[in-house]
Amino acid sequence: MDSFFVEVERLDRPELRGRPVAVGGVGRRGVIASASYEARAVGVRSAQPTGIAMRLCPNLVVVPPAHNRYGEMSVRVFDIFRSVTPLVEGLSLDEAFLDVSGLRRHLVSPVEIGELVRKTIKSVLGLPASVGIASTKFVAKLASEAAKPDGLKLVRAESQQEFLHALPVEALWGVGPATLAGLQKLGIVSVGDLALVPEATLSRTLGPNQGSHLLALAAGIDPRPVTPESGAKSISVEETYSRDLIGRDLIEAALLAHSQQLAMRLRRAGLGARTVSLKVRFADFTTVTRARTMPHAISQSRDLYRVALDLLSQVAGDDPVRLLGLGGSSFEETASSGQMSIDSDDAWHRLGEAVAQVQERFGVKSVAPARLLGRDSADAGVREDDRPDDES
């Protein structure tokens, strides 16, 4: 995310847009936590004493941090990450690695996936984000820095060395002040300089482990996989309605729309769900959840909807519904799409595949069940963040 704390503050205070802004302490010992790019242009940085920042930028607006608000927005950002792929490894409150290799069957290119992430975050949350794309975590991280602010950078495997060698050597992980001083004694300024130095020379100066580590990074070698903290637990669709849903017809229609959206997200992740869960919050804020685990995974909207209706039948009463959610968990990869239907109706399976392909290209509302026609998002749960990726 770009200047995450500052941009969250700008959501609530639009008059801060375009001005040099920092989030941090304003007292004698205050420290800058986040700075806008307008402030960074004159030297303001995170971890900098606020007094120094104010001297560098006299018109700097310093806003006290609202950590609860940032935490709430972070959860929503990561929900968007996980709606694209369940393989998400968080680095901090506002940064993560996403393994999107499993999406190749559904989206044309990694650039398309990266733009999907950025567009969704912008349209749903109103926040800017930058994406770096590469074949390794290390290079993707550097590419995301090069893409800022509010951009995307792809580093292809064939141009990886050219990209890395042009960077200053301190861009490498593990090059702190002491290591940088040692490298400078050897006349090393750029990553390209480092790549030309024999490992024995580096080992004598920095130690054998550090020397081999830096040479591997300079060559773009980083075998570490994206490792979710505890594995992806669920993919879900949830909406709080501006008007309560009254009557089973509206509730079932909203569930049908949720089933369409959940199927698209499972398809993008290349996953099927063995467990489907339903969440219903009534007008009095009473919340009920139900779940069902099947003998095999499902991913098609028709199957998800049938399970959702079964779960809905277990929720007593016809009280107005304030929130409705539908989720999948206990994932299996959909390597064999023929196993992804509850029944063996091949015609329905082919229809589901055809509809999914159209929705991937033109958006979830481009092809929809007749039951959803003529209903707005408040009535049927159709979310505006599922517009087609290339909609103008």
The string of DSSP letters for 8-30 reads: HHHHH-GGGTTS-EEEE--STT-
**Among all residues, which ones are annotated catalytic?**
95
pTM of the model: 0.58
How much is the pLDDT for 117? 93
Q: Which of 189, 164, 145 minimizes the C-alpha distance to 40?
A: 145
Mean pLDDT confidence for 181-210: 91
329 vs 351, more confident: 329
3-state secondary structure of 340: coil
More confident residue, 270 or 92: 92
The C-alpha atoms of residue 328 and residue 266 are separated, in whole angstroms, by: 8
- Residue 122 pLDDT: 95
- Three-state DSSP at 294 gives strand
The contacts of residue 316 (CB under 8 Å, 6+ apart) are none
The answer to whether the CB of 291 falls within 8 A of the CB of 304 is: no
- Answer whether residue 348 shows pLDDT above 90: no
Measured CA to CA, the distance from residue 244 to residue 379 in angstroms comes to 9
pLDDT at 371 over 80: no
Residue 5's pLDDT is 95
pLDDT number for residue 131: 98
Radius of gyration in angstroms for the set of CA atoms belonging to the chain, rounded to a whole number: 25
What does the pLDDT read at residue 90?
87
Tens digit of each residue's pLDDT (9 = 90 or more) over 118-148:
999 999 999 999 999 999 999 999 999 999 9
In this prediction, residues 184-195 reach a mean pLDDT of 93
> Residues near 241 by Cβ (< 8 Å), separated by ≥ 6?
254, 321, 322, 323, 324, 378, 381
